Structure 1
Amino acid sequence: MKKNKLASLVLSAIMTGTLIFGATDAEAAIQVNPIDGIRSDFIKGADISMLKEIELKNGKFYDQGVEKDCLDILQQHGINWVRLRIWNNPIVNGVEVGGGNTDEAKALEIAARAKARGMKVLLDFHYSDFWADPGKQNKPAAWANHNAKQLQKDVYDYTSKVMKDFTAKGIAPDMVQIGNELNNGMLWPEGKPVSPEGYKNLAGMIGQGLKAVHDNDPNHRVKLMVHLANGGDNALYRSFFDSLIVTNKVNDFDVIGLSYYPFWHGKMEQLENNMNDISGRYNKDVVVVETAFGFTNDGFDAQKNVYGPTEERIGGYKSTVQGQATGLRNVMEAVSKVNNKRGMGIFYWEPDWIPTPGAGWKHGEGNEWENLAMFDFKGNALESLDVFNLVSAKDNKFVQAAIKALEPADVVGNIGKPTELPQTVSAVYTDDSTKDLPVIWNTAAPVYDAVGNYRVSGSVAGSDIKAIAKVTVINKVNLVKNGNFETGDLNQWTVKGDMSAVNNSNSAGDVRDKSAMHYWADKAFSFTATQTITGLKNGKYTLSVWTQGGGGEKTVQLFADQFGGAKVMTPITNDGWNKWHQWTIKDIDVTNGQITIGVDNQANAGNWGSIDDVELYVQE
């Protein structure tokens, strides 16, 4: 692959267009700054749990137009560790569940191939038959009726069996993590930490997993990890590990693993602060065991991707090959600079997950991740793979990034009212990182007397590039206050019922822009969120709301009441994370100058979802 340094003129010419994958190799000149003082044994890892399934479905990988084993490509581009998840038995009614069907047999094969290439191996025990993460930690079917004590023995026995199997084949793992993204525990409901007993059960399960590894590794050569998601959330990590280590006395592990996706898990500074705090507080090494960045906002198949323009905006990097490389390089630097050299390295999550029919996230569904892979849609290695070598290259020169563009700000205003312009604009740098910078507008709060499209200019300190606000003026006012929850709270809303199940969320996927009303509880719950709007002109109105969620509630309804007529409702049905749907009630005939609008939710234990962009308009 080319390793040419990137002049800003070349970068601007290449990166301002849309990526096209017509060639045999994905061409993109990138520049990656070296990381000063990076340790020689820094983990430059990749979770490639999907690889075997992709190969079985005839997925192919190429480097400079030459077909190669994916592991060879990764190893040649500097990846020195692989991470492999293990599901107990990913089969339901004789049918594989999908998502790589990542059982022990597949992990054994890929581990052997990796070890033959001099790579090290991290095993990721999910203790489930399918995906385990903060939103779901389902017991394997074979353990479904087991109590907490039995589950601890299950964890020990299964972990011990796998360790013996790997050791017998001469490919003992170099690191093992007990559970995956354990924010909310494992092996639900017994291992869910919602009470002192739940915390105790969870600690026992983790402890038995750790013991099983140690018992099969008498020289303690294998590093042991406990892993959480939300890498920027220091309060979460302190709460979890204080309970595990201080309260429940489980401390026989070496590494704290963090998932950090900047479009979901906060700013890089939050990750840095968290790693420095927990590595010192608990005397542990840290590894960012999952991270990823998009190289395009496009998708290949019909499956909706988890990453797109909203995540690009939140994450701080453009969805380009250069942006992917810069983002990954900066996570590596953050880990490398953890105090007292406690940062061991990183793992990129599924750089291999190219769009391959039959290798989807679930049986019968497609790939949600292909624009976060490090190969293009045809399997060609992206230039961003060079980041693993370039961060350590002795002859690599540091290039200071400069502002190359200011993203236009899109604003909606109303006739005859001051238009509120944003206080910042997004600056795009020559390394395709982005940063919100303060802006001074030539007209602070413009007022327009006609519907139309307008432009306001402004300036940003340190840049000669003109800032632009593109204002669309409409004659249509949303009468709901804080209907998009962008105030960062639930102000203006009255929530009755199980209020502890309802909060304001800013997690990408759970929101349409920056914030949303979110709900979840581990037991059955119900709530009603309402807002009463007065001083209305009598006439017909339209009410709407956007929602997403896991589905399965008893009932969820959008409603309007107390407007001078009979209460009107429309059912809401959610069908998956980040799958947003709009629900609308038209022809609401207000005759008394007011209305109460809201959402009523009667939910089962574990139901979750989001409510966003509630709107009430005069009907034209």
Structure 2
Amino acid sequence: MTGISRRSLMIGAAAGAGALALGTASPASAATFVKGADISWMPQMEAGGYYWLNKSGVRQDLFTILKSYGLTAISLRTWVNPSSSPANGHCSIQETVQMAQRCRDAGMQVLLGFHFGDTWNSVGVQKPPKAWANMSYPQMRDALRKYVDDSLKLLKAGGVTPGWVKIGNEQNSGICSPVGSVSKPAQMTGLLNAAYDVSKQVFPATPVMVHLAQPQKMDSIQRFFNAYRGNGGKWDITGLSSYAQGSNVAPILGNMRTIQSTYGKPIMHVEYGGPIGKANQVRDGLRQFITGTKAFGGLGTFFWEPEGYSPFTGYGSTAWTSDRRPTAAMDGFLNV
């Protein structure tokens, strides 16, 4: 999710167009609009005894429930050396590969998202992993390249081909600050291009995306892309976060369309959500985003961590309540 809202809520409560390949399956056509969700909390919730009911109150496998809403893809974040915190840790590449295998076995596509940190990085925070913090730019570029290479080879050895690889998370200000900040565009681009090149070496057919937040703030979007493109930055898809609701959705869709046409890369709406107490509003906004993104040729829409519920997290923009049932927000995926 965008910057301050998700991170501050979670930290207080606890103190992210191809197909996933099965066997010889090949990537799907980019013409297929993707409906998905980030459910990276799922393993930690299961370990704590949490489970999910469908809208009828019947306990079911979470993948089964999500597929009943028409979802075909799962977004998974991964961190370099995370803590053991259930909500703000885990998601090492080893754990993420295991989760990706579960997605594969459920017939779901996988969007793998590198945060390039040990915990949350977002529009307001881009901290490198602790192990990289004192590195020079050349050292960091080599470490990042090796990390991405090792991670993707581990995924490949696990029998999973990701539908998409996301190099960075809400990286309006760059990655691995200060070395890769947007104020040092050549270094930022060098780091991201290293990640791009390695991703293509391991998975040549998998699209690689960069991910920005807050498309309502076009100055921030333009600053990143003008710096990145101006220094030879490589990417295949522009990922965007937006949690806009109500009358705010239409202008955001207009900005998304502008970003797509200006920078020449298809848009994927990789994070969406809204207040759990306003489920109908969130449902309607989700429908607006899906229909609007389809209309200008966007690739898909993902809900961010809809499965999380109290007391595992106090994050207020999930789509399951503490009675373990989905809210009406999930209905936004249906019939669109």
Match of 2:290 in 1: 332
Tell me if 1:291 matches 2:260.
no
Tell me if 1:228 matches 2:186.
no
Tell me if 1:86 matches 2:78.
yes
Q: How far does the alpha carbon of each residue in 1:242-287 deviate from its partner, in whole angstroms, 9 at most, with x for none?
A: 1111x20113x21001110126xx9223322222222122210101
Match of 1:560 in 2: none
Match of 1:249 in 2: 232
| Displacement of 1:208 | 0.5
Letter in 1 for 2:64: D
Greater length-normalized contact order (CA 8 Å, ≥ 6 residues apart): 2
Letter in 2 for 1:389: L
**Cα distance, 1:152–1:104 mapped onto 2, change above 3 Å:** same
Tell me if 1:52 matches 2:46.
no
Q: Is the 8 A contact 1:52 1:100 kept in 2?
A: no
Equivalent of 1:152 in 141, 152, 171 = 141
Q: How far does the alpha carbon of each residue in 1:414-445 deviate from its partner, in whole angstroms, 9 at most, with x for none?
A: xxxxxxxxxxxxxxxxxxxxxxxxxxxxxxxx
Q: How far does the alpha carbon of each residue in 1:18-48 deviate from its partner, in whole angstroms, 9 at most, with x for none?
A: xxxxxxxxxxxxxxxxxxxxx9721101011
Q: Give RMSD over aligned pairs.
A: 1.9
Match of 1:270 in 2: 251
Structure 2 counterpart SS, 1:232? coil
Letter in 2 for 1:327: G
Q: Is the 8 A contact 1:90 1:130 kept in 2?
A: yes
Match of 1:347 in 2: 302
Q: How far does the alpha carbon of each residue in 1:166-216 deviate from its partner, in whole angstroms, 9 at most, with x for none?
A: 11111121101101011111111111223xxx1111111110000110111
Match of 2:187 in 1: 201
**Cα distance, 1:201–1:112 mapped onto 2, change above 3 Å:** same
Map of 1:512-531 to 2, 5 A cutoff? none
Q: Is the 8 A contact 2:240 2:271 kept in 1?
A: yes
Q: Is the 8 A contact 1:286 1:344 kept in 2?
A: yes
Q: Is the 8 A contact 1:295 1:323 kept in 2?
A: no
Structure 1 counterpart SS, 2:67? helix
| Displacement of 1:100 | 4.7
Give the Cα separation in 2 of the matches to 1:292 and 1:128.
Answer: 23
Would you tell me which structure has more strand in proportion to its own residues? 1
Tell me if 1:380 matches 2:325.
yes
Structure 2 counterpart SS, 1:162? helix
Structure 2 counterpart SS, 1:183? coil
Letter in 2 for 1:244: Y
**Cα distance, 1:267–1:387 mapped onto 2, change above 3 Å:** closer
Match of 2:314 in 1: 368
Q: When the two structures are aligned, how many residues end up with a matched partner?
A: 306
Letter in 2 for 1:240: F
| TM-score normalised according to structure 2 size | 0.86
Unaligned runs of 5+ in 2: 1-29
Q: Is the 8 A contact 1:97 1:130 kept in 2?
A: no
Match of 1:260 in 2: 242
Match of 2:101 in 1: 112
Equivalent of 1:239 in 223, 228, 249 = 223
Q: Is the 8 A contact 1:45 1:347 kept in 2?
A: yes
Give the Cα separation in 2 of the matches to 1:159 and 1:202.
Answer: 16
Give the Cα separation in 1 of the matches to 2:232 and 2:135.
Answer: 24
Which stretch shifts more, 127-136 or 96-105?
Answer: 96-105
Runs of 4+ in 1 over 6 A off after TM superposition: none
Q: Is the 8 A contact 1:114 1:120 kept in 2?
A: yes
Map of 1:323-472 to 2, 5 A cutoff? 323-338=281-296, 341=297, 343-356=298-311, 359=312, 367-369=313-315, 371-391=316-336
Give the Cα separation in 2 of the matches to 1:178 and 1:250.
Answer: 12
Equivalent of 2:61 in 59, 69, 72 = 69
Map of 1:136-215 to 2, 5 A cutoff? 136-194=125-183, 198-215=184-201
| Displacement of 1:324 | 1.9
Structure 1 counterpart SS, 2:274? coil
Give the Cα separation in 2 of the matches to 1:330 and 1:238.
Answer: 24
Q: Is the 8 A contact 2:171 2:211 kept in 1?
A: yes
Give the Cα separation in 2 of the matches to 1:40 and 1:352.
Answer: 28
Match of 1:578 in 2: none
Unaligned runs of 5+ in 1: 1-38, 297-318, 360-366, 392-620
| TM-score normalised according to structure 1 size | 0.48
Q: How far does the alpha carbon of each residue in 1:67-95 deviate from its partner, in whole angstroms, 9 at most, with x for none?
A: 1121111112211111000011112xxx5
Q: Is the 8 A contact 2:76 2:112 kept in 1?
A: yes
Q: Percent identity?
A: 28
Give the Cα separation in 2 of the matches to 1:274 and 1:154.
Answer: 35
Larger Rg: 1
Match of 1:281 in 2: 262
Q: Is the 8 A contact 2:215 2:242 kept in 1?
A: yes
Letter in 2 for 1:260: S
Give the Cα separation in 1 of the matches to 2:86 and 2:327.
Answer: 30
Give the Cα separation in 2 of the matches to 1:269 and 1:250.
Answer: 29
**Cα distance, 1:384–1:268 mapped onto 2, change above 3 Å:** closer
